[in-house]
Amino acid sequence: MYINIHTHYTLKSTNTLLVFNLNKRLDFVNENFSAGIHPWYIKNENEKDFEVLKSLLKNKYCLALGECGLDKVIEIDFDLQKDIFLKQLELNKEFQKPIILHCVKAYQETLEIIENYNYCFVFHGFNKGKELAHQMQGKAHYLSFGKAILKNEKNQEALRTCNLNQVFFETDNDDINIETIYQKAAEILNLPLETLQTIILNNYKTVFDGNTKMA
């Protein structure tokens, strides 16, 4: 079985378990999903989004809060981003869901915020090097690798030196199969594909112990 921890496409496959990210479409689905207020779509008035988000977090198919977090390359005010991020983390005290994190050039600020919360955090789309990877994993956070491992040598080295018990894989918004990501990862790690699948499946069971449904 393949685990696709973060995707924006509900592609059907008999051997893949995916977590669909609702993102801007804060609406109901009857598959495994995550829901959050993405920093790209923050508005000055976000009360309605929080109402919808709370109702989604109650849904039995909602496995995680997110993606949510901080992004320094967009024009949306950074203080407003932090405020909305914190409000989502506070909201999650009621639900205790794992968190799928969006983080762009704001790792230190993100770490400062999340160290105050006892949730399981997954940094999605991790495309950095081994030093930052070790820092994240040293704080018991998970890293989700995607398309970057196909060609980015620093990202490949990060994966090669990671604790695999804190790793996931994803396709995000990229037009690529999760099988391709797994096959490249197995090559980088010099592991049989089946061994890698077992490791990631165990990670999934550790982090997402709620309802699951085969895609």
Task: Give 145: exposed, middle or buried? Use CB within 10 Å, 0-12, 13-18, 19+.
Answer: buried
Angle between helices 178-189 and 193-207 (to 10 degrees): 110
Confidence at residue 10, expressed as pLDDT on a 0 to 100 scale? 72
Residue with tokens 């890698």: 196
For 39-84, write each residue's pLDDT tens digit: 999 988 788 899 989 999 999 999 999 999 999 999 999 999 999 9
Confidence at residue 213, expressed as pLDDT on a 0 to 100 scale? 44
For 200-210, write each residue's pLDDT tens digit: 999 999 999 75
What the chain holds in terms of domains, given with CATH numbers, is 2-207 (3.20.20.140)
Q: Hey, which bits of the chain come out as E strands?
A: 2-7, 16-21, 33-35, 62-71, 99-104, 121-123, 142-145, 167-169
The answer on pLDDT for 157 being more than 60 is: yes
pTM: 0.93
